[in-house]
Amino acid sequence: MTRTPPHGVSPAVQRAILHLSFATFSSMTIQRLCDPMLPELAKDFQASMGQVAAVISWFAIVYGAAQVFYGPLGDRFGKMRVISLATLGCSLGCLGSALATTLNELVLARMLAAACAAAIIPMAMAWVGDVVAYEVRQETLARLGLGSTLGLVGGQIMGGLFTDTIGWRWAFVGMALLFMAVGTLLLRRHQRHDRLQTSEEPPTQQSFHRKVIRVLQEKRPRLVLTTAMLEGAFAFGVVAMAASHLHHRHGLSLTLSGGIVALFGLGGVGYMLSARFFIRRLGESTMLRLGSALFATAFAIMAFSPWWPLTLPASLLAGLGFFMFHNTLQVLATQMFPPERGTCMALFAGLLFTGQSVGVLLAAMLLAWIGSAWVLALGSLMLAVLGQCLPIFIRRC
């Protein structure tokens, strides 16, 4: 059994993190793949934007609900093994999406993909929490986050590009092949990875609901989990509507609109690559405040700018700010209750994506009432308020 050095990450763990990054890339790509597709899906299925937004919102609902299943499963059978099998399972949902002939069939196939993808990112973060010391955990999570952040870029670009060229169905075919390849790689190596897995304390044998009660009895976990749900609603609801906003407001192609929103992910990559500098210079409280403020400022520009070129740097800035906030929140989540870290991260991811599903549905409903510009502005403003208040509440815990 391999232990992480007190002030570093062993080469074996670094290799495992690289493999996990391939899986988190795939997971985030499939989450964001449909964002730039919405206008075309509305045409193909003769439905409203609110109706086709179900391919995003129901994905998020199932993704969140499945965390109840994967958290205890990862704690009991090994997080790396669960990730490997779930990655292979995602390929089936993608194939079903490619073959869907009705909107309901597409939603159901997306739900299947979500049920499998739900295991990947939270179990990967929990695995890092098990094997990496807290002093270097935020930097390590930032490196792991490169995969999911690049997936955010890949999903936006791939969804828009395929939709504008050979058709949105081929985007799902490509994702099915990607999941199959990554899942096979992880499955071949999971036994070696499982030998790396170790917890700070052995998991308890309580039932899941008792573990949840035990976690929620503490004030700080309640605060972090509530924040995760609100973050999902405010941030991801805004991001999901951004490509459609640019398409309709500025008359841009879906490829270009998706590409601009993909810069959000590149801004996140910029944060991940410079995370050590920000972490050591700013500290957790400042990163929460500054990150949320940058996100709100950038989306205000994207919402109201009369010149679309200004949305390019704004999208980069939004990604930098969001991931500065989100990465800090992830680190707080890994320390909610170390003996059951898999269950804790499952709760974190579940509430994050429950919030996302609610945020996407509300954003789609508000489009007809107040317009996409105000949806983007108000959602990002609420995240800024959350970021300014959270450090105050943390100090009181």
Residues in the chain: 397
Tokens of 335: 């320390």
CATH assignment, 11-197+207-396:
1.20.1250.20
d(CA 49, CA 387): 30
Are the C-beta atoms of residues 72 and 343 closer than 8 Å to each other? yes
Sign for the CA dihedral angle at 72, 17, 30, 229 comes to positive
Tokens of 162: 């395929």
Q: Which residue has the higher pLDDT, 384 or 216?
A: 384
Tokens of 295: 């996100």
Q: Is the pLDDT of residue 193 over 70?
A: no
Distance of CA 294 to the CA centre of its chain: 19
Distances (CA, A) of 88 to 59, 75, 181, 387: 17, 20, 8, 36
Q: What is the mean pLDDT of the chain?
A: 83
d(CA 180, CA 172): 12
pLDDT digits (tens, 9 = 90+) for 29-74: 998 898 888 888 888 888 887 788 888 878 878 887 887 777 777 7
d(CA 175, CA 191): 25
d(CA 229, CA 329): 12
d(CA 284, CA 156): 29
pLDDT over 90 percentage in the chain: 27
Amino acid at 59: F
Domain ranges of the chain: 11-197+207-396
Torsion of CA 318, 320, 324, 325, to 10 degrees: 10
pLDDT digits (tens, 9 = 90+) for 102-140: 999 999 999 999 999 988 988 888 788 777 777 777 777
Distances (CA, A) of 390 to 16, 45, 62, 103, 374: 33, 42, 28, 39, 24
